[in-house]
Amino acid sequence: MRNSIVRSIKSLTYSSSSHLIRRRGFATESVPDRKVAVLGAAGGIGQPLSLLMKLNPLVSTLALYDIANTPGVAADVSHINTRSEVAGYVGEEQLRQALEGSDVVIIPAGVPRKPGMTRDDLFNINAGIVKGLCEAISKYCPNALVNMISNPVNSTVPIASEVFKRAGTYDEKKLFGVTTLDVVRAKTFYAGKAKVPVAEVNVPVVGGHAGITILPLFSQATPKANLSEEEIKALTRRTQDGGTEVVEAKAGKGSATLSMAYAGAIFADACLKGLNGVPDVVECSFVQSSVTELPFFASKVRLGKNGVEEILGLGPLSDFEKEGLEKLKPELKASIEKGIKFANQ
Ligand X SMILES: NC(=O)C1=CN([C@@H]2O[C@H](COP(=O)(O)OP(=O)(O)OC[C@H]3O[C@@H](n4cnc5c(N)ncnc54)[C@H](O)[C@@H]3O)[C@@H](O)[C@H]2O)C=CC1
Ligand Y SMILES: O=C([O-])CC(=O)C(=O)O
Query: Which residue ranges make up the site for ligand Y (CB under 6 A)?
Result: 112-113, 119, 151, 181, 242-244, 246-247, 255-256
Strands, sheet with 28-30, edge to edge from the N-terminal-most edge strand: 12-14, 20-23, 28-30
* Comparison of 119 and 174: residue with beta carbon closer to ligand Y: 119
Cα Dmax for the chain: 58
- Is 66 annotated as belonging to a binding site? yes
Least Å from the CB of residue 116 to ligand X: 14
* Comparison of 142 and 254: residue with beta carbon closer to ligand Y: 254
Q: Which residue is nearest to ligand Y (CB)?
A: 243
Contacts of 260 (CB under 8 A, 6+ apart): 45, 49, 108, 149, 181
Neighbours of 341 (CB within 10 A): 13
- The DSSP secondary-structure symbol of 222 reads B
H or E segment and range at residue 267: helix 258-275
Q: How far is Cα 244 from Cα 251, in angstroms, rounded to an integer? A: 10
- The DSSP secondary-structure symbol of 60 reads S
- Is 132 annotated as belonging to a binding site? no
Q: Which does 247 bind (CB under 5 to 8 A by kind): ligand X, ligand Y, none?
A: ligand Y
**Is residue 211 a contact point for ligand X (CB under 6 A)?**
no
Q: Which of 35, 46, 157, 270 binds ligand X (CB under 6 A)?
A: 46
In this structure, the dihedral spanned by the alpha carbons of residues 212, 190, 49 and 16, taken in order and rounded to 10 degrees, is -150
Out of 209, 238, 273, 338, the active site residue is 209
- Site track for ligand X across 119-138, x = CB under 6 A: ---x---x--x--xx-----
Q: Which of 12, 67, 291, 317 binds ligand X (CB under 6 A)?
A: 67
Least Å from the CB of residue 153 to ligand Y: 7
- Within residues 245-264, the interface with ligand X by CB under 6 A covers 254-257, 260
Least Å from the CB of residue 24 to ligand X: 34
- Within residues 274-313, the interface with ligand X by CB under 6 A covers none
* Comparison of 181 and 287: residue with beta carbon closer to ligand Y: 181
Least Å from the CB of residue 299 to ligand X: 16
- Is 110 annotated as belonging to a binding site? no
In terms of DSSP bridges, do strands 61-66 and 35-39 run parallel, antiparallel, or are they unpaired? parallel
**Is residue 111 a contact point for ligand X (CB under 6 A)?**
yes
Question: Dihedral sign, CA of 126, 283, 273, 310?
Answer: negative
Q: Would you call 279 exposed, middle or buried from its count of C-beta atoms within 10 A (0-12, 13-18, 19+)?
A: exposed
Binding segment for ligand X (CB under 6 A), chosen from 42-50, 52-60, 162-170, 270-278, is 42-50
- Tell me if residue 19 is catalytic: no
- In contact, 307 and 295? CB cutoff 8 Å: no
Q: Which does 42 bind (CB under 5 to 8 A by kind): ligand X, ligand Y, none?
A: ligand X
Q: Alpha carbon of 190 to those of 30, 196, 197, 277: distances in Å? A: 38, 8, 10, 31
- In contact, 102 and 115? CB cutoff 8 Å: no
Determine the angle formed by the axes of helices 258-275 and 46-54, rounding to 10 degrees: 40
Least Å from the CB of residue 173 to ligand Y: 24
* Comparison of 177 and 307: residue with beta carbon closer to ligand Y: 177
R_g over Cα of the chain: 19
**Is residue 151 a contact point for ligand X (CB under 6 A)?**
yes
Q: Which residues are catalytic?
A: 209
The binding site for substrate comprises 113, 119, 151, 185
The binding site for NAD(+) comprises 40-46, 66, 126, 149-151, 260
User: What residue ranges bind ligand X (CB under 6 A)?
Assistant: 39-40, 42-46, 66-68, 108-113, 122, 126, 129, 132-133, 149-151, 153, 178, 181, 209, 254-257, 260
